[in-house]
Structure 1
């Protein structure tokens, strides 16, 4: 597949950089059979590229449009961590607040190994809780009761009874449960539902954050496609509602660029929301995975933070490069292995053209 792309890369004209990158991106989209692909390149003070290509549903004529919404999966984690930073600034919670400080009622069923786990530990994948994702078989919906908020508490309590995860070679214990519990802590500390916290952040940034797959509330929005590129009809997922703070936001590309630009502005010390040191803490404060952002080993003058969302129907990738003052955002509405490769190829070309 990669060898086939070499003549394609050589054939793309560079007479006009803007038109050239759109042609290249659409060639990649077609080559890898991605129904809809959206991408943006931003700096702290401008949007250099922002395009939406393809169709909202495979084998249809529903053309992609500006404003189309994409499920961003684990890119939600950066939004959760940013909300946490705002609440810390407002002194409604502390980074070193422990799970049992916020939920003392869970003491009776919590293993002692989790007694000292803090909000910061949870947001940086150092909570040691066992993993849970969209494809986990247990627990199932029938195992829990009440509304989704009550079910998330029961889910958290269940994982607090389990043996801890063994850290990987980087000292991380990546688990969506960390973010489920962090989201619960933010809700209790603020006395607001997580969705309200997200929508309030959106109001401050001029972003309409919604939840679940976009076609659940509006069938004219993009449909997600599974690993076999089959479109998924509208359906509510209890698992995504359990994983709310870990990965269940949908947003348009155009509006999401405002979040990325805000982060780049903050890294320059020009944000009114948080001080520069907090932005640096969020993206680069911990090695390998900071607050919602992966950051592989950094060179002294080259800091890259990224994350990828994939809840089984959309793949989204976001990269932020501090020294280049660049943010790259790629949204797709498919979750095939070919889609992931298409994202890799496009990101590489964007970085080559605009800075890495």
Structure 2
């Protein structure tokens, strides 16, 4: 699960006609076919409106000659777009007074400080979420294969993983920014400590119980029937990845292992759009501003680019079998969401072309 957030140019956004909306679906379907993406689902939304949404294609590539079975109720793996959701959960705990953005790992686990690399002693929760803590990336399966075996349940394993990562040499960069999945696991361990709940329990509580947002952890076809399969290249041939395939995002689930359908994901993004427009909801408007703007380039699960002419936020995610992308135009308070069940380079290019078409449709 590599770093994936892409900021593109700003377009003026206006209402599109229903005729053009139908044309947009045709264009998206053509792009999907051209780039061999089995299925995409997409939406253009504001804080209180769904301007356009749709689904195109098939759950599996070998169904491409059959009638489309794509649905806006299909679940897609969000990959690293999970990061913003884990940051959202952290913000809730900060507002509840259980932790601060300046809390360090060793404030909560002082017994581990002696064995840690001193470079990490002052790294804060904000640093881990904004990729400024200098911890190793763990964006590839190869890195995780070199890890020792951690015993216990998921929460205990994450804590042991966090402690291990903080003994390693730091990753330096000219601007202090080093993208890291491990940083999000360390942050999640801190949230688990102050709440006395696992990341899984916190996600269920804050998303489903409080907000009615449904999700699953892991691939859709491992959790639900009749769902999209992920796709990857095997010897240059696109293959559907079965749920039994031996691949897990163990230890870094808080960085990238949630799946949702676009209907539920829209609910989450619209909360953020309301917050960015100054409307407090489950979080205060001030907190939403912090999540998106607390640091340049990358804040709390969101990339950002602000100039006099534009204000853009975005993030992409992929575990190699799915690809998700969300872009928010901060000037017009409009979001563009595309979810695809393929993680290939072609799929990523298709998604970027679809974004362009969606934005053009709003001119």
- Common fold, TM-score beyond 0.5? yes
- Considering fraction of residues, name the structure with more helix: 1
1:181 is paired with a residue of what secondary structure?
helix
**Greater relative contact order, per chain length (Cα 8 Å cut-off, separation 6+):** 2
Give the conservation status (yes or no) of the 8 Å contact 2:317–2:324.
yes
| Alignment match of 2:266 (pick from 252, 257, 270) | 257
Q: Structure 1, residues 28-86: CA drift from partner, whole Å, max 9, x if none?
A: 11111100101000001100111111000111247112310000000000001111111
2:6 is matched with which residue?
Answer: none
**CA-CA distance at 1:284 after TM superposition:** 1.7
How many residue pairs match? The answer is 340
Give the conservation status (yes or no) of the 8 Å contact 1:99–1:118.
yes
**CA-CA distance at 1:156 after TM superposition:** 1.4
1:324 aligns with 2:301: no
| Alignment match of 2:29 (pick from 8, 26, 31) | 26
Distance 1:236 1:262 in 2: 35
Q: 1:343 to 1:238 in 2, by over 3 A?
A: closer
Give the conservation status (yes or no) of the 8 Å contact 1:125–1:173.
yes
Q: Which runs of 5+ in 2 are unaligned?
A: 1-16
Q: Structure 1, residues 86-140: CA drift from partner, whole Å, max 9, x if none?
A: 1000001011000101122322321111110010110111011011024224445
Q: Structure 1, residues 244-291: CA drift from partner, whole Å, max 9, x if none?
A: 110000000111011111111011121222222211111122100010
Distance 1:101 1:354 in 2: 49
Give the conservation status (yes or no) of the 8 Å contact 1:216–1:236.
no
| Alignment match of 1:120 (pick from 120, 126, 137) | 126
Q: 1:113 to 1:142 in 2, by over 3 A?
A: closer
Distance 2:192 2:330 in 1: 31
Tell me the TM-score normalised to structure 2 length. Answer: 0.89
Tell me the TM-score normalised to structure 1 length. Answer: 0.91
Give the conservation status (yes or no) of the 8 Å contact 2:271–2:281.
no
| Alignment match of 1:155 (pick from 152, 156, 161) | 161
1:225 is paired with a residue of what secondary structure?
strand
2:76 is matched with which residue?
Answer: 70
Distance 1:259 1:37 in 2: 19
Distance 1:119 1:285 in 2: 13
Distance 1:278 1:322 in 2: 16
Q: Which runs of 5+ in 1 are unaligned?
A: 1-13
